[in-house]
Amino acid sequence: MAAISDEERQALIELAGEARRRAYAPYSNYAVGAALRTKSGRIYTGCNVENAAYPHSMCAERVAIFKAVSEGEREFEMIAIVTSNGGSPCGGCRQVMAEFGLDTLVLAADEQGRLTMETTVGALLPGAFTPKDLVR
């Protein structure tokens, strides 16, 4: 992975913060924004979208990833996630991120844009089940 500057990190965090402001979270009141940068340099944002039927809600990270995939992207460089307290991605999001690469950089920040965590998908999900684990 190419070196990523502090300015690039902060710019992605700011985009995730903007996406967070569009979150629809009337039940949990836990707004989340994500910004995903692909290896081609394109950026896709997402916010969490809740539903009264709770299982049908969608996390911000998956919204951004699914938007990228729907546009033909499959290789991701880094994703920034912004929450009120700099929370970490849920297990479901970790698994979806693992599908597209364990070396993807994960940045978590709080609502003030302060970085609270920098890691990789592989570190967030040790022993991840990935496409290589499927018998073909």
DSSP 53-109: SGGG-B-HHHHHHHHHHHTT---EEEEEEE-SB-PPPPHHHHHHHHHT-TT-EEEEE
The enclosing domain of 104 has a CATH number of 3.40.140.10
Q: Active-site residue among 8, 14, 61, 75?
A: 61
The DSSP element (H or E) to which 120 belongs, if any, is strand 115-120
For residue 127, is it left (φ>0), alpha (ψ between -120 and 50) or beta?
left
Q: Name the 3-class secondary structure at 132.
A: helix
The DSSP element (H or E) to which 19 belongs, if any, is helix 6-20
The answer to whether residue 61 is catalytic is: yes
For residue 1, is pLDDT > 80?
A: no
Residue 133 belongs to some domain of the structure: no
Domain residue limits at 86: 6-128
pLDDT tens sequence across 71-109: 999 999 999 999 999 999 999 999 999 999 999 999 999
Domain count across the chain: 1
Residue 24 belongs to some domain of the structure: yes
Is the Cβ–Cβ distance between 133 and 115 less than 8 Å? no
Q: What is the pLDDT of residue 106?
A: 98
**Rounded to two decimals, what is the model's pTM?**
0.94
